[in-house]
Structure 1
Amino acid sequence: MGRKQHVRAMSDWSLLTLLFITFALVLAGVVKGVIAMGLPTIGVGLLSIVMPPSHAAAMIIVPATVTNVLQLFSGPRILPNAKRFWTLLLTLIAGTLVGGYWLGGLSSHWAPPLLGLTLSVYGVLGLRAIHFHTPTAWEGWLSPVIGLAAGFLTGTTGVTVMPSAPYLQSLALEREDLIQALGLTFTVANFTLAFALTGGDAPLADPHAV
């Protein structure tokens, strides 16, 4: 292949990549608008086809955070939800920092297989319409466990939806409370992930990395 052909091929590849990135972001945004979640899940999953998971998470962090903050303030029950799920939120922060720093974050060898497993489980739950029910008596001890697991997955995959979303859905919350609780959980996860992505060699620590 001559020099001109090589340059042209690289240019075509870059254009296709840009179009794919645009498609991934638009699709993830549409899904988020319809079901109030899924922007990082779909966005990171698709973008990881053309870039490392850490860069995919860095690219999705701003639109995910903005939409989650808007979702958080969509209702009047921010404080009641924060009071009810404070243990989940605290362990979510801790788990994200552990996954993001101690385990190497999205740049570790854990990231690709964990991302694939997380997306597979999330897809199976959605396609088979599998729903869980959590007894109220379990909420006290289960919330911090779910928060820790969700934080670990957030810190290592960039996906904030598992297992916090199925757990919140299992509590039989009113629709408005569920949407706001999801917004609260995702907002905390995204801000913590953004912090983790600014440390060391993480993508957001270098403005030219993404």
Structure 2
Amino acid sequence: MSTLDVGFLALVGVTFLAAGTVKGVIGMGMPTVSLALLVATVGLQPAMALLLVPTIVTNLWQALVGGQLRAIVRRLWPFLLASVVAVWPGVAVLAGVDVRWLTRLLGLLIIGYALVNLGMARFVLPVRHERRAGVISGLVNGLLTGMTGSSVFPGVAYLQALGLPRDQLIQAMGILFTLCILALGLAMGGQDLLTGELMLTSSLAVIPALLGMQLGQRLRRRLSESGFRRFFFLGLLVMGSYIVLRSLLG
């Protein structure tokens, strides 16, 4: 199926509308939702390419707005640098191995991410270990981003373990996702894993993603955020399990 086929464009539009709505309600989750839905329908590499432009656009404002950009970068630059640099070897793995293994890995990452959040597990990282743990977490996070397109583990867990205030945490996640997905796009382009049609479709997907965010922000005032979060992570648990089973069954 061509990426400019009407049916395919409709699938991408609905996916990013749903993913943007989730982000509008809880402030996160768009790359994970779009990956989970697209991998189950079009495969891993196309899904990673399609999430590039909407993820960068919707996270850039989150990265820049909040007034803490300089303080966050000054504190977290070793973690952020390691996350970006490690994307390139991750994409080299993506280009060189059977994609079914990486699809299973993505499914397991989504399952783990859902279970951790459903259990509300929280870790506190002592300040003396912050930089060393940041470099290790960043390297693993960047490697997994390059291999699967997912930038949430262990990067988000590391940021949460720092005990950042909510607004600073949200801005730090926006910075992390923006930098990692920019690096992912450059690295995939260097491995000839992007096509003009995929990038055009990814650019068009910005529209439903932004519309979904507006819808989600309106729904936030009417919904229980804690209840929606639980429903969201239960849904991710189901999708992650489906991705793993589908890849195992061929």
* Aligned-pair CA distance for 1:107: 6.9
Match of 2:216 in 1: none
Give the one of 138, 141, 144 matched to 1:147.
Answer: 138
* Aligned-pair CA distance for 1:79: 1.1
* Aligned-pair CA distance for 1:137: 1.6
Q: Which amino acid aligns with 2:48?
A: A
Tell whether the 8 Å contact from 1:88 to 1:143 is kept in structure 2 after alignment. Answer: yes
What's the secondary structure of 1:198's corresponding residue?
helix
What's the secondary structure of 2:124's corresponding residue?
coil
Match of 1:6 in 2: none
Distance 1:45 1:69 in 2: 22
When normalised by structure 1's length, the TM-score is 0.85
Distance 1:37 1:143 in 2: 21
Give the one of 196, 200, 206 matched to 1:207.
Answer: 196
Aligned CA RMSD, in angstroms, stands at: 2.1
Within a 5 Å distance, the mapping from 1:89-168 to structure 2 comes to 89-102=80-93, 104=95, 108-168=99-159
Aligned residues: 196
Match of 1:5 in 2: none
Moved more, 94-103 or 112-121: 94-103
Q: Which runs of 5 or more structure 2 residues have no equivalent in the other structure?
A: 202-250
CA gap of 1:166–1:112, structure 2 versus 1, over 3 A, is same
What's the secondary structure of 1:48's corresponding residue?
helix
Larger RCO, structures 1/2 (Cα 8 Å, 6+ apart) = 2
Counterpart check, 1:71 vs 2:62: yes
Match of 1:3 in 2: none
Match of 1:184 in 2: 175
* Aligned-pair CA distance for 1:134: 1.3
* Aligned-pair CA distance for 1:35: 2.6
* Aligned-pair CA distance for 1:18: 4.8
Distance 2:159 2:97 in 1: 25
Counterpart check, 1:57 vs 2:63: no
CA gap of 1:143–1:88, structure 2 versus 1, over 3 A, is same
Give the one of 158, 163, 170 matched to 2:161.
Answer: 170
When normalised by structure 2's length, the TM-score is 0.72
Larger Rg: 1
If each structure's helix is expressed as a fraction of its own residues, which one has the higher value? 2
